[in-house]
Structure 1
Amino acid sequence: CTFLALGTHFGKVFLLDIQGNVTQRFEISSVKINQISLDESGEHVGICSEDGKVQVFGLYTREGFHENFDCPIKVVALHPQFTKSNYKQFVTGGNKLLLYEKNWLNRWKTSVLHEGEGSITNVQWRANLIAWANNVGVKIYDISTKQRITNVLRDNVSLRPDMYPCSLCWKDNTTLIVGWGTSIKICVVKERNPTEMRDLPSRYVEIVSAFETEFFISGLAPLADQLVALYFVKENPDHMDEEFCARPRLDIIQPLPESCEEISSDALTVRNFKDNECRDYRLVHSEGESLFYIISPKDIVVAKERDQDDHIDWLLAKKKYEEALMAAEISFKNIKRHDVQKIGMSYINHLVEKGDYDSAARKCQKVLGKNMELWENEVYRFKTIGQLKAISQYLPRGDLRLRPAIYEMILHEFLRTDYEGFATLIREWPGELYNNNAIVQAVTDHLKRDPTNSTLLTTLAELYTYDQRYDRALEIYLRLRHKDVYQLIHKHNLFSSIEDKIVLLMDFDREKAVDMLLDNEDKISTDRVVEELADRPELLHVYLHKLFKRDHHKGQKYHERQIGLYAEDSTHCPLEKVQFFTFLNPNTHPNFLKVNQCLFSYLRALQMIMEELEDVDKAIEFAKEQDDGELWEDLISYSIDKPPFITGLLNNIGTHVDPILLIHRIKEGMEIPNLRDSLVKILQDYNLQILLREGCKKILVADSLSLLQKMHRTQMRGVRVDGGSTFREHFAKRRGPGSGILEMKK
């Protein structure tokens, strides 16, 4: 587990857990503890003090090393693998750096690694490399090759090394971070090329980054590819003559080859910071956990990377609930102190307090989810503040649903204050959500006070439809002339219910009603329809006319009545009248002759189309159908003094009548609209006819030639004959063009 070993100025060492609780206590000396070192496993500890005492012992074993020196021991460092028997090594530093190794006789052997450059102020051991700092600079020793491989000189020699000590920190097994005064260097240990070695060490150090900082460095620690720097800050305001100590700063910086970029900065509040010096602070980090301990004479501050919980805390403190909820949803697997739903509830409460009820209701859908108890609590809260309408459109209405009383409460609220909103909810909400009969009764009660309200009537019809009381719904739809009446009839097969309502349906929409009646003759017979429409001849005529257009024979027994209806009718096209009377047989319909036979002749029909409808396109269509030359002649004669009609004829008669007949009869000087386009079209049509004729001629000639060749081959084919000299003599006597061939064959 993670713990912190803390030495005091009174010679005591405390082991603290990450909450700051003391777990163990050791009496080492009566004076200041200078340095404490732990191996990687955390099972062994090395301690040195100002009175020259050095102790190395196991926290869980009795093995140990105790030594007293006649000078202060400033530093101690255990081999990272000290727990293993092969690595029982540690170093101490006072005026010189000593290496202690346990030999095979279980005795400690001492070696001097360095001396003569003043007091050793810091030492750090990583893998096979030992780095230490003295008054001159920083050295690195390779214990595997027993060689010192570098000497990094101190930059600012004006600073007292005891007041501004060197900070050393290994980032990994080959990267050392050095901080001294205001300068930082990142040193990388590299293997030397064998061809360059000669008498040089097998390794060398390359400084990959070196830069100055604004403040004095009290401690350094790695954080991925960045650095955590603990700064001792001195400020000198313009109105003061002397500097004073400010709060220490903990910065995250991004090192560059010759400078750095500040990522974040925090000023730390520690007790008595105004009385502290640079040497009074330490920065210790716990690898693998991103925990950083800032040690001061009176306080220990624990810093760690912000996680999502911290981020959410900050967002909530700033009342950025939307962002906090989004962050919690994205990282719901990683957050430990927060709950997505609780954050969402805080957001809803915040929106309600702001008076943004619609947004609060919309968030309920996302936050409350499947928690029906929370849903009902929120509905009652919205009722208390008079905002049921806001939450109504977001209530669950699928497989998960609230108690019917909740939905009925909202419907009653809308029915009391907003008929249109009530109708919308009835259309949108499934009928299973509430007690349909209770709502029907409530609507009926309101209609007693406002019986003509179309919104309430339509909604009542929809409620009846859901309750399968289709007859009542149909009555309301017909009363309102509602567009959905036909859909209701078709969907629920209500044809038996409309037999006595045919007139109402046709008064509402004749076209739809007639189409529906004709499409469903098997459900409502023609006789029944005619019977219902007997007192409304104009409706009967519409029905019989459409029946005739669909099938000339179906309504034959009503043709006698239709003759009179057509005679009185002025709405239908003359062409349609002509079609009807053309179909009738005068011999079987004696009344036919009584209805002005001339009126319905082809010429009279054409005249009606031209004079009454003034529709040249219909006239041309009629002439095409009859394919009568005299009819075309009459059409040309009638149109010859009407330029728009001439344009229509020029555009359409080219395939039935020679356009020259029309063009010759046009008066000179008459202005004809779009004449050029019409003539171009005539010429194009003529060219097309010529091309078609030439194509047909070529096909005909090719077919004739092919058949002639086939006939010729057939006639020239040899015919086998049997016989003696009689046939030869016969052939010889009848010499012709081929007689030479016969003679050659002999």
Structure 2
Amino acid sequence: QETRSNEESTDESEEDESEEEPKLKYERLSNGVTEILQKDAASCMTVHEKFLALGTHYGKVYLLDVQGNITQKFDVSPVKINQISLDESGEHMGVCSEDGKVQVFGLYSAEEFHETFDCPIKIVAVHPHFVRSHFKQFVTGGKKLLLYERGWMNRWKPSVLHEGEGNIRNVKWRGHLIAWANNMGVKILDMISKQRITNVPRDDISLRPDMYPCSLCWKDNLTLIIGWGNSVKICSVKERHASEMRDLPNRYVEIVFQFDTEFYISGLAPLCDQLVILSYVKEVSEKMEVECCARPRLDIVQPLPESCEEISSDALTVRGFQENECRDYHLEYSEGESLFYIISPRDVVVAKERDQDDHIDWLLEKKKYEEALMAAEISQKTIKKHKILDIGLAYINHLVEKGEYDLAARKCQKILGKNTELWEFEVYKFKEIGQLKAISRYLPRRDPVLKPLIYEMVLHEFLESDYEGFATLIKEWPGDLYNNTIIVQAVVDHLKKDPQNRTLLRTLAELYTYDQRYGRALEIYLTLRHKDVFQLIHKHNLFSSIRDKIVLLMDFDSEKAVDMLLDNEDKISIDRVVEELENRPELQHVYLHKLFKRDHHKGQRYHEKQISLYAEYDRPNLLPFLRDSTHCPLEKAFRIYNPLYFFLLGRMGNSRSALKMIMEELQDVDKAIEFAKEQDDGELWEDLILYSIDKPPFITGLLNNIGTHVDPILLIHRIKEGMEIPNLRDSLVKILQDYNLQILLREGCKKILVADSLSLLKKMHRTQMKGVLVDEENICESCLSPILPPDASKSFNVVVFHCRHMFHKECLPVSNTISTVQFCNICSAKHRGPGSAILEMKK
């Protein structure tokens, strides 16, 4: 609990360290009260809904407004005022004092009663409806309880209601019932029948009634609350059934709740169906080891039939509490407003129920901003002190201080709403702490729209550190939020440092598209092979821009590119496409083939060219093409089709016939060599050498290409002396160079192999030299019991292999070999390799 200064603090209450919210709030009654209590001491007080009446030890009675300002002052007696009573109208007051004086007078009339008794008068109570002429009654008492009634000729007639049981200590009048307490207990009198209907005896007779007085409080016209010592009783006045009356009063009292409290009771007040109790507390001093007065407590409890449930408990630091006794404290309350006044000699504290503003204050103090914001939204029509926006801003600041930047940014959407100034302020605040990225996702994009500078600042932040995030924002944000030219230039500057960055290139293309610079966007999309390139061309009619980019389009997606080109022949002619694809015959074939499928006659001038293209790239479709086309020369087709025949002969196993046809009919040594390479048959090479041995051009071709497949010496030995062979010297030099190259390759490979083997051997050696952890969790792979013995002090032998399998030494089978090296049984069963050798540990 928090302890505040005794004199200077306007201590509301000592707050519990727990998260439970207090039920009441406290403030010291100041202004005129402060001035009074500096020179005097409070002895009693009564509360009316319009004003307060305070009695002092120097015999003064002050009328105060609810702020504590003095409105009237009465010098009643030179000694202590014991009790003040007001009627319900607040127009008549009864006062009694320690010197036996009793006064009942009108505050706004000349009506007045004075009487002085020969003993101290402790109590006085005027009729609740004293303002009415036929209710001019009041009770007072010292040793007797006297009822005064105004009768004939305005004379006051006294009558004794009760005597003989000691001094009257307290009295409360409600409706037609009067309750009073004396040394023996509490009595209730029915003023209609003038009968006493109950006697509630005092429980703890060991307590002095003058030091621990009885507290009385009417909850309503038929419910009386009694507090005496540490006992609380709630009594209900009920009507007696006619059959039970006989000589008994027509009313009786039933005790509906009764319970004991931890401390002594100084005052009681109702709060709905709960009870407010002012308690006097004593505690043992740690220094002097004697009982001393502690701070009084104000508790709210829920009465139960034989006990109570504590709802809240507050310790109050009233001025001078160390010197006060139980009788010095009083609790008064205002029924209409749920105000509770704690009166002590040097202080008056007001307790009131906490409203929604107080609830929000408590939540903010406990840093429960989310709940405070929700409470403010629910009660926005009733709260007076707080504004939803202020709470929201405090919540955002709190989240930022905690480092929860993303949540703080998300809350900005709800809290800042459409306030552009606050949005811009928060963005700059996030920039100062380096968290622009966090708020970027939640910036408004429509209604409201912030200044372009804000969005540009965020984009620059991402551009410096997060290209992917930058690209996402460009894709999500409308282009009119920022100055497109500035952002384009920034991206271009970054691309100078990293020209191949695909993310930046893709983002730049999107910026160009928004800026209607479609040509530049198209170039980037084609470079990136972006899927949206065809959509961009169609959407913005960019066919004039792709005349020189047909190869790029075909490389990216030949099927889509061909469909687009054929669908738009009027914009890009067939001749232009064929011309652009001249250096890419495989793409040229794809385009012309699809053109032929659509229309056999449109590309007729290219049919002769297509024969070669089909033969090279699409032989299965060559015959259908020849069958359907009426514009291709058949003699060329026949020439082209012959190699297919050779190929078929080879596939059918008649390789020698195929080779003979190539050599005799085509006279093409290169194709013959290629055919022999494909077949990879030694006899076929022998046939090729035999056929070529008398043909010098063929011998040159063989010398240049045979080296990697057949030993050139076989060919050279068969060449006749004196035969002239074209470029023989160059061919021989090439053979020698190829041989040297092979030797160098072999030596290089050998060096690499040796170096790698040595490196791996060293690595294996280092690995096997490392220690192996052996602990209680490891088990013997043979007997499956823990590898370490329970008693570590005894000697033991453990065998640990590099493969991490472990055995008790006695569990390993005895090796039959002469070698001392043992191998892991488990690994040896599979294969024996590095890592299965032994590592023995002894203790």
Q: In the alignment, is the contact (CA less than 8 A) between 2:608 and 2:631 conserved in 1?
A: no
Q: In the alignment, is the contact (CA less than 8 A) between 1:541 and 1:565 conserved in 2?
A: no
Q: In the alignment, is the contact (CA less than 8 A) between 1:537 and 1:565 conserved in 2?
A: no
Closer/same/farther in 2, CA of residues 397 and 40 from structure 1, 3 Å limit: farther
Q: Which residue of 2 aligns with 1:48?
A: 96
Closer/same/farther in 2, CA of residues 437 and 77 from structure 1, 3 Å limit: same
Residue 216 (structure 1) aligned with residue 253 (structure 2)? no
Residue 135 (structure 1) aligned with residue 183 (structure 2)? yes
Residue 342 (structure 1) aligned with residue 390 (structure 2)? yes
Residue 59 (structure 1) aligned with residue 107 (structure 2)? yes
Whole-angstrom CA distance in 1 between matches of 2:115 and 2:445: 80
Whole-angstrom CA distance in 2 between matches of 1:84 and 1:115: 29
Residue 419 (structure 1) aligned with residue 467 (structure 2)? yes
Q: Which runs of 5+ in 2 are unaligned?
A: 1-48, 653-843
Tell me which moved more, 153-162 or 507-516.
507-516
Q: Which residue of 2 aligns with 1:477?
A: 525
Residue 501 (structure 1) aligned with residue 549 (structure 2)? yes
Whole-angstrom CA distance in 1 between matches of 2:154 and 2:520: 107
Q: Which residue of 2 aligns with 1:255?
A: 303
Closer/same/farther in 2, CA of residues 453 and 7 from structure 1, 3 Å limit: same
Closer/same/farther in 2, CA of residues 126 and 430 from structure 1, 3 Å limit: farther
Closer/same/farther in 2, CA of residues 200 and 593 from structure 1, 3 Å limit: farther
Tell me which moved more, 117-126 or 341-350.
341-350
Q: Which digits, 9 at most, give the CA deviation of each residue in 1:578-636, with x for residues without a partner? A: 9x669x657x567689868xx9xxxx9xx9xxx9xxxxxxxxxxxxxxxxxxxxxxxxx
Paired residue for 2:281, among 230, 233, 239?
233
Residue 564 (structure 1) aligned with residue 564 (structure 2)? no
Q: Which residue of 1 aligns with 2:428?
A: 380
Closer/same/farther in 2, CA of residues 565 and 129 from structure 1, 3 Å limit: farther
Q: Which residue of 2 aligns with 1:679?
A: none
Residue 466 (structure 1) aligned with residue 514 (structure 2)? yes
Whole-angstrom CA distance in 2 between matches of 1:332 and 1:94: 54
Shift of 1:410: 3.0
Q: Which digits, 9 at most, give the CA deviation of each residue in 1:308-349, with x for residues without a partner? A: 433443444444445544444444444333333333333444
Closer/same/farther in 2, CA of residues 533 and 200 from structure 1, 3 Å limit: farther
Q: Which residue of 1 aligns with 2:230?
A: 182
Residue 167 (structure 1) aligned with residue 215 (structure 2)? yes
Q: In the alignment, is the contact (CA less than 8 A) between 2:263 and 2:280 conserved in 1?
A: yes
Partner letter of residue 176 of structure 2? N
Q: Which residue of 1 aligns with 2:535?
A: 487
Closer/same/farther in 2, CA of residues 488 and 563 from structure 1, 3 Å limit: closer
Whole-angstrom CA distance in 1 between matches of 2:335 and 2:609: 104
Closer/same/farther in 2, CA of residues 38 and 540 from structure 1, 3 Å limit: farther
Q: In the alignment, is the contact (CA less than 8 A) between 1:100 and 1:111 conserved in 2?
A: yes
Q: Which residue of 2 aligns with 1:680?
A: none
Partner letter of residue 615 of structure 2? E
Q: Which residue of 1 aligns with 2:754?
A: none
Whole-angstrom CA distance in 2 between matches of 1:519 and 1:194: 110
Whole-angstrom CA distance in 1 between matches of 2:509 and 2:91: 84
Paired residue for 2:444, among 387, 393, 396?
396
Closer/same/farther in 2, CA of residues 593 and 261 from structure 1, 3 Å limit: farther
Q: Secondary structure at the match of 1:171?
A: strand
Q: Which residue of 2 aligns with 1:307?
A: 355
Shift of 1:529: 5.3
Residue 115 (structure 1) aligned with residue 115 (structure 2)? no
Partner letter of residue 439 of structure 1? I
Whole-angstrom CA distance in 1 between matches of 2:525 and 2:347: 83
Q: In the alignment, is the contact (CA less than 8 A) between 1:254 and 1:262 conserved in 2?
A: yes
Percent identity, aligned pairs only, is 74
Closer/same/farther in 2, CA of residues 530 and 8 from structure 1, 3 Å limit: same
Q: Which residue of 2 aligns with 1:243?
A: 291
Shift of 1:482: 2.0
Shift of 1:181: 0.7
Tell me which moved more, 61-70 or 255-264.
61-70
Paired residue for 1:433, among 461, 481, 484?
481
Paired residue for 1:457, among 505, 518, 522?
505
Shift of 1:417: 4.2
Partner letter of residue 509 of structure 1? D
Whole-angstrom CA distance in 2 between matches of 1:275 and 1:189: 39
Shift of 1:169: 1.1
Q: In the alignment, is the contact (CA less than 8 A) between 2:506 and 2:524 conserved in 1?
A: yes
Paired residue for 1:150, among 192, 198, 214?
198
Closer/same/farther in 2, CA of residues 502 and 563 from structure 1, 3 Å limit: closer
Partner letter of residue 456 of structure 2? E
Q: In the alignment, is the contact (CA less than 8 A) between 2:592 and 2:603 conserved in 1?
A: no
Whole-angstrom CA distance in 2 between matches of 1:516 and 1:65: 115
Shift of 1:34: 0.9
Q: In the alignment, is the contact (CA less than 8 A) between 1:544 and 1:555 conserved in 2?
A: no
Structure with the larger RCO, 1 or 2 (CA within 8 Å, 6+ apart): 2
Q: Which residue of 1 aligns with 2:62?
A: 14
Closer/same/farther in 2, CA of residues 250 and 553 from structure 1, 3 Å limit: farther
Whole-angstrom CA distance in 1 between matches of 2:155 and 2:508: 103
Q: Which digits, 9 at most, give the CA deviation of each residue in 1:73-104, with x for residues without a partner? A: 22222333444455444332333333344558
Shift of 1:379: 3.0
Residue 197 (structure 1) aligned with residue 245 (structure 2)? yes
Q: Which residue of 1 aligns with 2:416?
A: 368
Closer/same/farther in 2, CA of residues 567 and 553 from structure 1, 3 Å limit: closer
Q: In the alignment, is the contact (CA less than 8 A) between 2:265 and 2:279 conserved in 1?
A: yes
Paired residue for 1:298, among 346, 354, 375?
346
Shift of 1:449: 4.4
Q: In the alignment, is the contact (CA less than 8 A) between 1:155 and 1:183 conserved in 2?
A: yes
Paired residue for 2:319, among 244, 259, 271?
271
Whole-angstrom CA distance in 2 between matches of 1:77 and 1:156: 26
Residue 32 (structure 1) aligned with residue 76 (structure 2)? no
Shift of 1:180: 0.5
Shift of 1:70: 3.7
Q: In the alignment, is the contact (CA less than 8 A) between 1:547 and 1:554 conserved in 2?
A: no
Whole-angstrom CA distance in 2 between matches of 1:86 and 1:111: 17
Whole-angstrom CA distance in 1 between matches of 2:239 and 2:405: 69
Q: Secondary structure at the match of 2:220?
A: coil
Tell me which moved more, 489-498 or 432-441.
489-498
Shift of 1:220: 1.0
Whole-angstrom CA distance in 2 between matches of 1:273 and 1:252: 21
Q: Which residue of 2 aligns with 1:629?
A: none
Partner letter of residue 227 of structure 1? L
Q: In the alignment, is the contact (CA less than 8 A) between 1:567 and 1:595 conserved in 2?
A: no
Q: In the alignment, is the contact (CA less than 8 A) between 1:154 and 1:180 conserved in 2?
A: yes
Tell me the TM-score normalized by structure 2. Answer: 0.63
Q: Which residue of 2 aligns with 1:709?
A: none
Whole-angstrom CA distance in 2 between matches of 1:80 and 1:526: 113
Whole-angstrom CA distance in 2 between matches of 1:467 and 1:544: 37
Q: In the alignment, is the contact (CA less than 8 A) between 1:474 and 1:485 conserved in 2?
A: yes
Whole-angstrom CA distance in 1 between matches of 2:371 and 2:612: 76
Closer/same/farther in 2, CA of residues 98 and 468 from structure 1, 3 Å limit: farther
Q: Which digits, 9 at most, give the CA deviation of each residue in 1:98-138, with x for residues without a partner? A: 33445586655544433332222111122332221112211
Q: Which residue of 2 aligns with 1:285?
A: 333
Partner letter of residue 611 of structure 2? G
Q: Which digits, 9 at most, give the CA deviation of each residue in 1:156-212, with x for residues without a partner? A: 112111111111112222221110111111111222233333333232221111111
Q: How many residue pairs were aligned? A: 597
Q: Secondary structure at the match of 1:302?
A: strand
Q: Which residue of 1 aligns with 2:788?
A: none
Q: Which runs of 5+ in 1 are unaligned?
A: 612-746
Whole-angstrom CA distance in 2 between matches of 1:96 and 1:19: 37
Q: In the alignment, is the contact (CA less than 8 A) between 2:142 and 2:168 conserved in 1?
A: yes
